[in-house]
């Protein structure tokens, strides 16, 4: 499964094609789905351009993607940088009026288990973000079922990112949920290649990298997806 991560915390001054508004996210999701992705991951923004878990903001973005491309699974982030207080994060999830198909929860963050439980109660599939070997232990203590594990290699140095990937994957249970492996920055494409080699799910998009494998600037998310699809073949 190839997922497109459309925007993350990227700003327009980092890349002119970063989608921010519900309409832009929806249009980009359509282009990426046509290029071959099976799902999209978005970070909805409020009117000021800040990431938000507000019900109206989440609802507008998710609804726009669904209207533009019916049937395409859409997920959001619940990262602690969006709403630092764990109680407020749980309250935000419980207040959502439009539910995404899935949402990521970083296992190392304070309140992660409670946020995951709130998502599960709402019927939203939980993706457990695992950044370190220690986070595997934190995730194992969750009482909530996990639909997918995100092994997220945050190191920019390629050798370190690949070593982290190997260590985290080795620490995961053999018969656990499906795993999606991805990297960021300079390590994006090498970790992508490792995911393909291992037969794991993976993702690509402007959230993770602004460059194509040859180091040239990526025009947009659809170009990244098309390149990723060609590499999987």
* Mean pLDDT, range 155-174, rounded to an integer: 96
pLDDT, tens digit (0-9, with 9 covering 90-100), for 54-92:
999 999 999 999 999 999 999 999 999 999 999 999 999
pTM of structure: 0.97
Domain count, the chain: 1
Domain around 47: 2-232
Q: What is the pLDDT of residue 174?
A: 85
Q: What is the pLDDT of residue 206?
A: 98
- Between CA 138 and CA 145, with CA 139 as vertex, the angle to 5 degrees is 150
pLDDT at residue 233 tops 90: no
| Sheet containing 102-106, strands listed edge to edge, beginning at the edge strand earlier in sequence | 179-183, 148-153, 125-130, 102-106, 74-77, 39-42, 2-5, 202-204
pLDDT at residue 18 tops 90: yes
**CATH code, domain with 220:** 3.20.20.70
């Amino acid at each position: 499964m190839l997922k497109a991560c459309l925007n993350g915390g990227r700003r327009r001054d980092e890349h002119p094609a970063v989608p921010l508004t519900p309409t832009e996210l929806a249009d980009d999701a359509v282009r990426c789905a046509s290029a071959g992705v099976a799902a999209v991951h978005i970070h909805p923004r409020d009117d000021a351009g800040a990431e938000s878990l507000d019900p109206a903001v989440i609802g507008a973005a998710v609804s726009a993607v669904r209207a533009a491309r019916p049937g395409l699974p859409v997920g959001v982030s619940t990262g602690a940088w969006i709403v630092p207080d764990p109680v407020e994060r749980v309250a935000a999830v419980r207040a959502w009026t439009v539910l995404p198909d899935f949402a990521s929860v970083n296992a190392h963050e304070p309140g992660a288990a409670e946020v995951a439980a709130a998502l599960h109660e709402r019927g939203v599939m939980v993706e457990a973000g695992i950044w370190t070997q220690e986070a595997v232990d934190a995730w194992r203590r969750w009482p909530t079922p996990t639909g997918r594990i995100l092994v997220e290699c945050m190191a920019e140095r390629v050798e370190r990112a690949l070593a982290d990937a190997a260590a985290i994957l080795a620490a995961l249970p053999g018969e656990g949920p499906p795993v999606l492996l991805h990297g960021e920055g300079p390590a994006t494409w090498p970790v992508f290649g490792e995911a393909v080699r291992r037969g794991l799910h993976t993702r690509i998009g402007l959230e993770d990298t602004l460059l194509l494998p040859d180091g040239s600037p990526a025009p947009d998310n659809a170009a990244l997806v098309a390149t990723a699809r060609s590499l999987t073949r």
